[in-house]
A and B are shown apart, each in its own frame.
Chain A
Amino acid sequence: MKKILRSLLFIVCFAPLSLWAQDDPTLIVSTKKQVMVGERFQVVFEANAEGKNFQAPTFNGFTVLGGPFTSSSSSFSMVNGSMSHTVKNSYTFALQANQEGTFHIGSASLNVKGTKVNSEPFDIKVIPDDGSHAAPTGGSGSNNQGQSQQNTNDPQVSGKDLFLRVIPSKKSAYVGEQIVLTYKLYTKVPVSSVSMSKMPSYAGFWTKDISDNSGTLRQSSEYINGIEYTSAEVNKVIIVPQRSGKLMLDPMTLECVAQVRTERNNSRSMDPFDVFFNDPFFNRNIVNVKKELTSQTINLEVKNLPENGKPASFAGAVGNYNFKSDIDKTELSTNEAVTITLTVSGTGNVELLQMPTPVFPPDFEVYDPKITTSTDVSSQGLTGTKKAEYLAIPRRAGSFTIPAIEFSYFNPSNESYQTLSSEPYEIQVEKGTGSDEGGGIFASNQEDIKYLGSDIRHIMTGNAHLKPMHSVFFGSAAYYVALLVLLALFVVLLFVLKKREQLTQDTAANRNRKADKVARGRLKNAYQHLKAKDQEKFYVEMSQALWGYIADKLGIERSKLSMDTVSETMKSKNVPDELTQQFIDTLNSCEFARFAPGSAEEKMDDLYQRGIDVISKAEKVL
């Protein structure tokens, strides 16, 4: 812009001089030969004569912002008596370059007193934008538009003098690995205030602002491409990617006010007062220029954590950590609290760290852990300590084991997983004097069995009890042999007993058992004799039946057999007196009839019946 102003100045000041030298009508073009894309510039056609019908060339590749603005001036001068009349007509176009390249502009024409005057065709080279005209061109937003209008005639702050940069600590990271973003303001002009107008959204990141909020910006000087800049850290943010892939960071927009010394009046006026009072020494000819700065967009490559070698206890921690576990006591009584303190410290995203959980035995009442986090910011990013206190109360006595607690993390510096583990704790719980005792009410200590899971029953160990396939015991030879052996044993036993009985037939026991049979045999014979009316033989049989029966039954030897021994023995065997008497009576009447024959037939019959009667009665008792 300054250049444009200068060229205008040049035209205004010196163009009339050239007109004096020649009177032929001319049409002269003055413009910049080289502009940047988006830059605004002017093309001025100047004629030294009054003309009509100005025809402008076509400005291919440019946008005509305005024009032709015409202006004319005429002057008369007397030099050494000769008077000259000078006419100056100018046609000005405001153009803006749209695209890169070299553009040919044709000639303009003007009709001067019937003759057509043409200007020289010319070329304009449009070069890529270096950002220096960003603010003044101001096509990007209404905000900017207002600003540019406000400062239309003010000097501008170039993008080379004041810009914002974001510097990530690394361009590629693992999920969960922290990246430090530093926003730095570089300037060559004094900056009076800085305010953030738009923060990036940081989609896909966990962020923590770690900028120093003391209010003052720490300044230092830095060289970029050999040019010295004053730099200041505007903002510092730790970002932790939460997902993998190519993540884009939005730019940050900053509004700052730069103080620029103006020179406008120098160019416009030759008034010495103005010059004097516009001197910066006297007049603060400094303009506050509001400028919006935008940092560059950054693409970060976020890698997934390797699946290979991921430990089971890994819960997403990335960084470099130490792990410590403490227990306050290992010997306690029931209903007394035990605390396990787990401490993880190191570099990494401590705030999002998931603490490992100790596995308490099921009989422990476990409370939610108390977690405290303290963080600190260092050059590597976030460091800190996370502490989790697990409080548990054993409700039953016994000895318990809390298995070793493992903490795993991924170390991005050597790209590997690390697992740290504590010692397992043996806890001895004694029966305490808890609330179970005391009081009048008997509180039962019983509780239902807690089922923790279900599974198939375990395999059978020990003896396999293997046997050949399809070897069923039933129906096998062994089975029949077993049955036959039993049967044979039975038969053999019976046989042996029978033999032994025959051998010991005369023994008292045998006699006893056979007594009834023998007596009945004799009585049968007696009956035969009764039928045959053979008195003598009948009485002999009857007598022998009765005496034999009672001798066998009572085990009395024949030699000692008498009425007295019979009655005595019967008494000693607790036979009822009535039966004894009856038996003795029957014996007596039998003996009497035997030795005093001639009694009636009825008597024989009666005796026979009485004999049968007493024997069957005695059989029941003895």
Chain B
Amino acid sequence: MKRYTLLILVTFFSFAGRAQQGANDWFEQANAAYNMGNYDSARIVYEKILATEVESVPLYLNLGNTYYKMHEYPMAIYYYEKALKLDPSNEDVQTNLAIANHAIVDKIEPVPQSFIVRGWRNARASLSGDQWAWCSIVFFALLLVSVFLFMRSRKMGVRKLGFFAGIVFLLAFVLSVIFAAQLKHASEIQDQAIIMAPTVTVKSSPNEASVDLFVLHEGTKVTVLETSNGWNKVKIANGSVGWLEVDKMLSF
């Protein structure tokens, strides 16, 4: 039984490894094309990699850069946002997203967030989801070590230390689990979208005949609140809410 498992594992990893190798070669090719200024061919190769159902921050960043260089800012923003979803802490992606957001028409003043919400989000955004998951494992290990010290140490000081460290690590473990869970949730639900149509009119209800509320332009990020009949209820950064056709945006 054990031998079979091993065999299956080995085969799986060798397959995965080979696929990975091909994708990495493509990645190199696409980077070379980008460096030569052949943005169109770079884009094609990056999208070929994406078509194999793999993703990574470098892939999304590079694809976003390629679109930026082709002056297709909405697509660039879309891929930068995707990269940020994987790793909210990546400084290169943050910088490029800020620059790309300057290239679009709509400039929306975001609703100011409370100090606590901002602090919570900033703390959460300081690491990627996987990094938080690893953190939780490390904190769990440290928690166990503390408990061990508390239980087994003969020295009073060490036991006290173990006790308090245990409390701290327990809190850290819980917090990192919450962060990781939130980021996982955010990456699984596609509640963000980028407007792709050059100009769209946001309606008051999900039908064509309803009142025009405001106009948005390509590249603007919206939050999708609910979906009904091919219409999305969207919210923009300043808090305004309205309805838009689904095909005018690209969710992520």
Contact = CB atoms under 8 A, between A and B. Distances in A.
A479 B27 contact: no
B236 interface: no
Interface in A390-421: none
B94 to A, nearest CB: 9
Q: Which interface residue of A463, A489, A490 has the most chain B CB atoms within 10 A?
A: A490
Contacts of A486: 137, 140-141, 144
Interface string B144-178: 10011001101000000000000000000000010
A469 B54 CA distance: 5
Contacts of B180: 473-475
A493 B133 CA distance: 24
Interface string A248-266: 0000000000000000000
B100 interface: yes
Chain B interface: which size bin? 35 or more
Contact of A467 (B56, B62, B140, B183): B56
Contacts, number: 108
B181 A456 contact: no
A460 interface: yes
Given A475-B181, A486-B137, A497-B152, A459 B31 contact: yes
A458 interface: yes
B210 interface: no
B248 interface: no
B129 A474 contact: yes
A466 interface: yes
Contacts of A473: 129-130, 133-134, 180
A517 to B, nearest CB: 13
A529 B189 CA distance: 74
A486 B136 CA distance: 12
A17 to B, nearest CB: 103
Interface string B23-45: 11001000100110000000000
B137 A483 contact: yes
B235 interface: no
A483 B65 CA distance: 38
B55 interface: yes
A497 B153 CA distance: 12
A482 interface: yes
A270 interface: no
A489 B56 CA distance: 33
Given A473-B133, A474-B129, A474-B184, A466 B56 contact: yes
B100 A472 contact: no
Contact of B133 (A469, A479, A513): A479
Given A472-B184, A494-B148, 17 more contacts: A457-B65, A463-B24, A464-B23, A466-B23, A466-B59, A467-B55, A472-B188, A473-B134, A474-B136, A474-B180, A474-B183, A479-B133, A482-B137, A483-B137, A493-B148, A494-B151, A513-B154
Interface of B: 20, 23-24, 27, 31, 34-35, 49, 53-59, 61-62, 65-66, 68, 92, 95-96, 99-100, 129-130, 132-134, 136-137, 140-141, 144, 147-148, 151-152, 154, 177, 180-181, 183-184, 187-188
23 contacts: A456-B96, A457-B92, A459-B66, A460-B57, A460-B92, A464-B23, A464-B27, A464-B59, A465-B56, A466-B23, A466-B27, A466-B54, A467-B54, A468-B54, A469-B55, A472-B129, A472-B130, A473-B133, A475-B180, A479-B133, A489-B144, A490-B144, A497-B152
Interface of A: 454-470, 472-475, 479, 482-483, 486-487, 489-490, 493-494, 497, 513
Task: For the complex of A and B, list the 6 residue pairs with the smallest distance between their C-beta atoms, beginning with the closest.
Answer: A474-B133, A460-B58, A474-B180, A459-B62, A464-B27, A466-B54
